[in-house]
Structure 1
Amino acid sequence: MKLPVLEVCQIILCADIYTVFSAQGKELSKELHNRYFSQDHRLETRGRLFLATCKCICRRYWRGIYCQERICKPWQRGCTSKTQCVNKLKFCDRVKDCYDGSDEDNCSCTSKVCDHGGRLDKVTCTCSCTSDWTGEHCRTPSPSADCGMRQVDKSRIIGGHTADIEHYPWQVQLRYQSARSTWYFVCGGTLISPQHVVTAAHCVVDKLPTRWRVYLGRKKRQKGGEKIRDVTKVFVHEQYDVLKDTNDIALMVLNIPVSFTGRIQMACLPWQPVQQFSSDSACFISGWGSIAYGGILPYNLQAAQVVLIPQSQCADIIDLTDSMICASESLNLLGQVDACQGDSGGPLSCAAVDTQGYLRWYVVGITSYGFGCGTPGLPGVYTKVSEFTVWLEEKMNS
């Protein structure tokens, strides 16, 4: 069998006006054709000769004087040879999909990460972010993003008193189904996406995911709330140490995404180095935990303003790791304000102005443990969320 060769006006040879495909549909170059010649193959004409003008009229997806250049679809990128298109996601994946191997050339940024659903162009080494995020790594909320925004005009300084859920709309309540089928209150949590809640690992470890229930937009501990969601999956950090309280973080996946309202909103994640927080930051803890050590649980949501304690100061008091952060009522550690039993897993949320000038709230910490409740000289210890943002993003996208 001979391959078609067209004489164009006895001067131009359009010998390239065809494409060879293997039986599996893989496009072959002319140079590789002989290797597959004994196998099943088919020909697709790239164009036809128009004798009146002595020009090649190209078929769909081909262009050029000899129809020698492939037109790529929006989700494809052309190889250097210009005769082949490859899925953009296959560029710089360490597998040569272009016959000339050009899809693996100039791949110098394979370690760069684009977060929040952003796509990495490994040729230009830039992130293509979704509409809600911006920045080099898609870690800065755009003005249209919903995270960390409250539908209240101004915040109140609350020193351990009843709080409105509208001020902490990312605060959720976690309940677990007992053997008697009653749902009892266990911990707090923080909504960080329409379908994900972050909490403390010690709240959920060794418990069945399907027996959890999440209450959102709820002010009263025992009743009310706008939405209730079941849990389909729980991720506990692989290096969580129950004895040392390290890596005390877990992620819950809700069965149905929630819609945002004035009482339900997600907090932003504190991507470093985009957001840095210090003892000067406006930070609050919230939850339905006991008002005093060993005391009863409150009827309504409680909140209090706290101060972040510098790592060096806290490390002099307790065995602190880089994945922990401390907070108290002041740098003097008088012990007047603290989280207590029942507050575990809830948010330590701090406010910051983003690069667009919007005030947003970030879940800086997760209530982990303490020494009593409000013990003078001993701050509360929280999981430092900024150390786990990559882990959270990985689990949220899995």
Structure 2
Amino acid sequence: MKIISFEVIVLSMTIICIVTPTLGQFVGRFEDSQSRQQCFTPEQIRGTCMALSDCPQVTEVYNSTDDSVGTEHVLFLHRNCGSRSVNGDPIVCCTRSTTKSQIDPTPNPDITNLILSQISTTPRTHTRGQQCLTPEHHLGTCVALSHCHQLTVVYNFRYDRVGTQYVLALHHSCGTRSVNGVPIVCCTRPSTTTTTTILPIPEATSTTTTTTTPQPTSTTTTTRKPEQTSSTSISPPIDLRLNSCLLSPGVYGECIDIKRCPSILNQLREKGNDPVLVKFIKASNSLCDNVGQNVCCPTEPGPRRLPTEKEGCGEPNLVSYRRIVGGDEAMKGAYPWIALLGYGDISLSKFKCGGTLITARHVVTAAHCIKHDLSFVRLGEYDLSTDTDTTHMDINIVKNVSHSNYNKTDGRCDIAMLYLERNVEFTDIMKPICLPNSLSLRAKTYVDTNPIVIGWGNTQESGRSAKILRQLTIPVLENSVCQNSYKAMNLSFSLNQFDKAILCAGILAGGQDACQGDSGGPLMTSEQLDNGEIRFYLIGIVAYGYGCARPNIPGVYTSTQYFMDWINDKVREMP
């Protein structure tokens, strides 16, 4: 069997793999515009439903029309998005989108006209531990099939020819080698433990492929401990990347404690003696490896873009909102996007940093707040001394990403993104803030304005942290003020330490400032929209200072304006 062969085009110094399409068999049963939905590939990689023409890595697989593996694989991606089409363009599950405008400013509907050259390919001879590429150009490692749980799950469903042939293609990517009778495959998430019930790889014929330069990957840190892989005889399969589980075809969930799964918990309270429900809960627990009281809780797809003003971001609680004239206790519910970062066990409630909710699934904070025991985020909190003031919510963090250029010495690029275990249901005390995402707000200067900083940090240097959320209005200064102040204390470590990546803010007379425990929290300003409504925008993240509220030493804040592209990229990379 011949595996996918590729043709190469060169456009604007970019190499793009592509070949001739025939869209006939992909035309769906009906057309609609709701294409941007979450989906999964046969390898259980999370993607987004979009037009085939906007997904070049799938287009190139499909265009190998003489290759049944490529054709059926793309058919699977089409079916996984409901076999739908938009304006005759089939919708497929795409893991790494690139719009036509990014590929070619004057796209030609006849894709064959874009082919500038064709290269012959030779089989690879990868061995275990070497890097490889999946048919969709995801970087992987050649490992034994028994060490690649997500592939054994796909392959063992023998009734699915697409799954079988897809794993076969990944076997070819590593040179069709085997070790002790176990085939070597290209795996994107290899495991250190083996899976069982692995069926033998069938014999195949010659293979052709190409060498493609993989795209650089960013460094991420996960806070969850690795889960033990389960036998692939379990049905439906479990995706262990994010404690995900598959309830039924196209319906995914998260393995979490039943007490944190309202949809199942409410049913249990209403009809706890129903034998059908009891059986369902037991089956749901087995999908989560029978761990504690965990169940496979249905979840909605995570957002992949920032919310807009029309969608309610940055909307203050109208009852609570008022202009601040000095540091004092905030009103309950005034800032529903404020987050506390919890470390260690949730029951111990150890909070050391703050953060800001920016979507239903993302919290932005400071990179220096990322520690090995960072585990959860608390939303809706107000008074830490009591559990009765508000209905707060603790949500596990499944992944965190610090800026790759974060410098611990000079504090530059002190920004990180937290990915939550599940979507936040917005309420009056839990909703996201806006960000300065428009061109006008990105270019705006906030010098001589008076934004607000909030948090539960120390009320004085070396003092105790506040129990009730506090707020303070501080002026934004020229960055040169911070540069001169810190240079005078021998705390200037690089030429770009005080460039446009930071905001300098503080009361030079001293006495009021952000302090220890406020790190990662928001510096925010209000803007009036054209319709007269007020919205809050996150313009800074509490980064560092020298002491607390000392005269002539303002605080340093990471500028969200400067990092808007990074923020948008990380939101799109929703796991």
Q: TM-score range by the shorter chain?
A: 0.5 to 0.7
Which runs of 5 or more residues in structure 2 are unaligned?
1-20, 28-65, 68-84, 91-96, 117-304, 487-491, 493-497
Give a deviation string over 1:297-331, Cα, whole Å, max 9, x none: 111111111111122433332341221111113xx
User: 1:264 is matched by which residue type in structure 2?
Assistant: M
Q: Structure 2 residue aligned with 1:335, among 500, 504, 510? A: 510
- What is the aligned partner in structure 2 of residue 195 from structure 1? 361
Contact 1:140–1:274 under 8 Å retained in 2: no
- Which residue is 1:56 aligned to? none
- CA separation of 1:102 and 1:312: change in aligned 2, threshold 3 A: same
Give the CA deviation at 1:99. 4.9
Q: Deviations over 1:92-121 (max 9, x none)?
A: 6359772563799xxxxxxxxxxxxxxxxx
| Separation (CA, whole Å) in 2 of partners of 1:218 and 1:373 | 24
Q: Match of 2:333?
A: 166
1:119-148 deviation line (CA, Å, top 9, x unaligned) = xxxxxxxxxxxxxxxxxxx99944x22111
Q: Does the 8 A contact of 2:361 with 2:422 survive in 1?
A: yes
Separation in structure 1 between the aligned mates of residue 98 and residue 471 of structure 2, nearest angstrom:
49
Q: What code does the residue aligned with 1:199 have?
A: T
Q: Does 1:248 align with 2:414?
A: yes
Task: Report if the CA contact (8 A) 1:165-1:171 is conserved.
Answer: no
How many Å apart are 1:265 and its aligned residue?
1.8
Distance 1:295 1:233 in 2: 32
- Higher relative contact order structure (alpha carbons within 8 Å, sequence separation ≥ 6): 1
Residues 265-320 of structure 1 show CA distances to partners (whole Å, capped at 9, x for unaligned) of 21111126322242443411110100000001111111111111122433332341
Cα gap change, 1:290 to 1:73, in 2 (>3 Å) = closer
Deviation, 1:260, is 1.7
Instruction: Output the amino acid matched with 1:93.
Output: I
Which position in structure 2 is the counterpart of 1:76? 89
Q: Deviations over 1:241-282 (max 9, x none)?
A: 111111000000111111222211211111263222424434
Q: Counterpart of 2:475 in 1: which secondary structure?
A: strand
What displacement does 1:26 show?
9.9
- Superposition deviation, residue 184 in structure 1: 0.9
Contact 2:306 2:568 in 1 (8 A): no
Question: What is the Cα deviation at residue 392 of structure 1?
Answer: 0.9
Distance 2:482 2:530 in 1: 30
- Who is 1:299 aligned against? 467
| In structure 2, distance between residues paired with 1:367 and 1:256 | 26
Task: Give the conservation status (yes or no) of the 8 Å contact 2:509–2:552.
Answer: yes
Residue 307 of structure 2 contacts residue 313 of structure 2 at CA under 8 Å; is this kept in 1? no
1:212 corresponding residue in structure 2: 375
C-alpha distance after superposition, 1:15-69 (max 9, x if no partner): xxxxxx98x9699xxxxxxxxxxx89xxxxxxxxxxxxxxxxxxxxxxxxxxxxx
- Does the Cα contact within 8 Å between 2:481 and 2:504 map onto a contact in 1? no
| Partner Cα distance (1:286, 1:382) in 2 | 13
2:485 partner SS: coil
Partner of 1:68: none
Q: State percent identity of aligned pairs.
A: 31
Which of the residues 416, 428, 431 maps onto 1:262?
428
Q: CA RMSD in A?
A: 3.4
Change (3 A) 1:156 1:395: same
CA contact (8 A) 2:336 2:432 kept: yes
CA pair 26-174 structure 1, distance change in 2 beyond 3 A: closer
**Aligned AA for 1:215?**
R
What's the CA shift string for 1:58-95, capped at 9, x where partnerless? xxxxxxxxxxxxxx952639xxxxxxxxx995566359
Matching residue of 1:233: 399
Q: Give 1 or 2: higher strand fraction.
A: 1
CA distance in 1, matches of 2:360, 2:419: 10
**Counterpart-to-counterpart distance in 1, 2:115 and 2:392:** 51
The answer to whether structure 1 residue 98 and structure 2 residue 110 are counterparts is yes
Once residues 254 and 149 of structure 1 are traced to their aligned partners in structure 2, the CA distance between those partners, rounded to angstroms, is 22
Residue correspondence of structure 1 range 149-160 to structure 2 within 5 A: 149-153=315-319, 154-160=321-327
Instruction: Check 1:375–1:271 CA distance in 2 against 1; reply closer, same or farther (3 A cut).
Output: same
Counterpart AA for 1:74: N
Deviations 1:203-232 (A, max 9, x none): 11x425xx5111111001254342211111
Which amino acid in the other structure matches residue 87 of structure 2? P
**Does the CA-based 8 Å contact 2:412-2:501 persist in structure 1?**
yes
Q: Where do residues 15-34 of structure 1 align in structure 2 (5 Å cutoff)? A: none
Counterpart contact for 2:306–2:571, Cα < 8 Å: no
CA distance in 2, matches of 1:285, 1:188: 11
The CA deviation string for residues 140-171 of structure 1, in whole angstroms up to 9 with x for no partner, is 944x2211101224413152211124221111
Letter in 1 for 2:408: V
- Does the 8 A contact of 1:311 with 1:326 survive in 2? yes
Q: Distance in 2 between matches of 1:213 and 1:98?
A: 50
User: Residues of 1 paired with 2:111 and 2:458: CA distance?
Assistant: 67
- CA deviation profile, 1:367-391 (whole Å, cap 9, x unmatched): 0111110000010111111111110
Query: TM-score, normalized by length of structure 2?
Result: 0.45
Q: 1:145 to 1:73 in 2, by over 3 A?
A: closer
- Indicate the residue corresponding to 2:228 in structure 1: none
Cα pair distance change 1:219/1:139, threshold 3 Å: closer
Aligned length: 286
Residue 382 of structure 1 corresponds to 557
CA distance in 2, matches of 1:382, 1:147: 22
State the one-letter code of the partner of 1:383: T
- Cα distance in structure 2, aligned partners of 1:243 and 1:73: 51
Q: Are the counterparts in 1 of residues 317 and 335 from structure 2 also a CA contact under 8 Å?
A: no
1:324 is matched with 502
User: What per-residue deviation string (whole Å, max 9, x for no partner) do you get for residues 152-207 of structure 1?
Assistant: 244131522111242211111111006x9733111000011111000000011x42
SS of aligned partner of 2:561: helix
